[in-house]
Amino acid sequence: MGIEIVPVGDKAGLKQFIELPFSLYREYPHWVPPLRIAVKDLLNREKHPFYANAEMELYLALQDGKVAGRIAAVLDKAHNRFHEEKAGFFGFYESTNDPKVAEALLSQARKWVKGKGAEVMRGPVNPSTNYECGMLIDAFESDPMVMMTYNPPYYPQLMDQVGLRKSKDLLAYLSNANTIDTKKIDRVAERVLATTGVTVRPINMKNFDAEVEKVWDVYNSAWSKNWGFVPMTREEFIVQGKDMKQILKPDLVLIGEVKDRVVGFALALPDVNQALKPANGSLFPTGLIKILYYQRLIQSVRVLALGVVEEYRPSGLAAGFYATLVRNARKLGYGDCEMSWILEDNTLMNRSLEVMGAKRYKTYRIYEWN
Quick: pLDDT tens for 193-249: 788 888 899 999 999 999 999 999 888 888 888 899 999 999 999 999 999 998 999
Residue 49 shares a structural domain with residue 10: yes
pLDDT greater than 90 at residue 132: yes
pLDDT at 311 exceeding the cut of 90: no
Q: Are residues 215 and 264 in the same domain?
A: yes
Same-domain check for residues 121 and 255: no
> How does 322-336 read in b/e, with b if 16+ C-beta sit within 10 Å?
bbbbbebbbeeebeb
Average pLDDT over residues 43-50: 97
Chain mean position to CA 60: 24
131 and 222 part of one domain: no
360 backbone dihedrals φ, ψ, rounded to 5°: -70, 125
Among candidate residues 132, 150, 168, the one where a domain is terminated: 168
How many folded domains does the chain comprise? 2
Residue 32's pLDDT is 98
Alpha helices by DSSP H, listed for 116-229, are: 154-162, 183-196, 208-222
Q: Which of 115, 147, 168 is the last residue of a domain?
A: 168
Q: Which of 168, 191, 217 is the last residue of a domain?
A: 168
Q: By C-alpha distance, which of 238, 236, 299, 305 is closest to 272?
A: 299
In a domain, 369, yes or no: no
Q: What is the mean pLDDT of residues 168-197?
A: 84
Q: What is the CATH number of the domain that holds 214?
A: 3.40.630.30
| Alpha-carbon gap, residue 366 to 165, rounded angstroms | 9
Confirm if 268 and 325 have CB atoms less than 8 A apart.
Answer: yes
> Which of the four pLDDT bands, split at 50, 70 and 90, describes residue 152?
very high
Same domain, 124 and 69: yes
Mean pLDDT of the chain: 93
Q: Of 263, 183, 252, 181, which is closest to residue 219 (Cα–Cα)? A: 263
Q: Where in the sequence is the domain holding 283, given as residue range(s)? A: 175-364
pLDDT, residue 1, reads 60
Q: Give the whole-angstrom CA distance, residue 93 versus residue 155.
A: 9
Find the mean pLDDT for residues 337-362. 89
| 346 CB-contact burial (10 Å; exposed 0-12 / middle 13-18 / buried 19+) | middle
279-307: pLDDT as tens digits = 999 988 888 888 888 888 999 999 999 88
Of the pLDDT bands very low, low, confident and very high (cuts 50, 70, 90), residue 312 is confident
